[in-house]
Every structure is written in C-alpha cells, then in structure tokens.
C-alpha cells in the first residue's frame, strides 16, 4: 500500500524552465510534508517542508503548493538550473505519532543546458 504517490517518475526540463513534481497522499492524519533532494552518490537532504495550515511555502526558487482538500502537494522549481538535476522525494509524516517519514517513489529531474 503506497500511502504517498509521486509523479512523474522522471522529468526533463530545459534550463530556465519550470519543473513541477506532484504528490498525493491518502492519510488525512499526516501533518508534515517535506521534500528531499538527492544527488548521485549522496544521501537525501531536506530541501523544503510545509505543514497543512498553509497553502504555499516559498524558499528561493523552490515552492511547495499544498491542497488539503485534494490531499495533494507539489514542488515547483522556478528558473530550473543544471545544478538542480537530482532525484526528488516527497514525504509525509504524522508528528503526533512516531514522526515516521513515508516517502514517495522519487522523481529523477534532468535540467538540460
């Protein structure tokens, strides 16, 4: 049972374009939604996170959009750069429970120069 579904599996974007990765979750008890970025040969690292009391969070070129009623959230990368090429994972967690992170399947992003 995949509690967090992520799409697309892979994405190719031209430099300067907008990259959009989508995630959907099932459990309405989730109350923390982070995105992790992973470069080849490295472990994932926290990129940006949101809680369900806000609909959008922006940090530099990275924005999370959150739709609580649709149980969906997405990552937007504006002005995508070749250095953004990585694998991105969305995740969900219940802070009131174990704090366990449940990850999506991952999206491999390639930004072409």
Please give the residue ranges that form the binding site for other proteins (CB under 8 A). 6, 9, 32, 34, 36, 41-46, 49, 89, 93, 95-106
Closest to other proteins by CB, 20 vs 49, is: 49
Contact 94, 29 (CB under 8 A): yes
Contact (Cβ atoms closer than 8 angstroms) between residue 90 and residue 35 = yes
Exposed e or buried b per residue across 44-55, where buried means at least 16 C-beta atoms within 10 angstroms of its C-beta? beebbebebeee
Cα(83)–Cα(16) distance, integer angstroms: 12
Q: How far is the CB of 82 from other proteins (least distance, A)?
A: 23
Which one, 28 or 98, has the nearer CB to other proteins?
98
Q: How far is the CB of 85 from other proteins (least distance, A)?
A: 17
> 59 vs 79, which CB is nearer to other proteins?
59
Cβ contact 76:22 at 8 Å: no
Q: For residues 54 and 78, which CB has a smaller minimum distance to other proteins in the complex?
A: 54
Least separation in angstroms between CB 43 and other proteins? 3
């Amino acid at each position: 049972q995949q509690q967090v579904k992520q799409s697309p599996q892979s994405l190719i974007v031209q430099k300067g374009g907008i990259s959009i990765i989508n995630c959907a979750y099932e459990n309405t008890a989730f109350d923390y939604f982070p995105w992790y970025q992973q470069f080849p040969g490295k472990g994932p690292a926290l990129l940006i996170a949101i809680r369900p009391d806000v609909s959008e969070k922006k940090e530099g070129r990275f924005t999370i959009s959150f739709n609580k009623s649709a149980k969906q959230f997405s990552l937007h990368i504006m002005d995508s750069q070749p250095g953004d090429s990585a694998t991105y994972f969305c995740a969900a967690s219940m802070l009131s429970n174990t704090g366990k992170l449940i990850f999506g399947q991952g999206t491999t992003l390639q930004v072409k120069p």
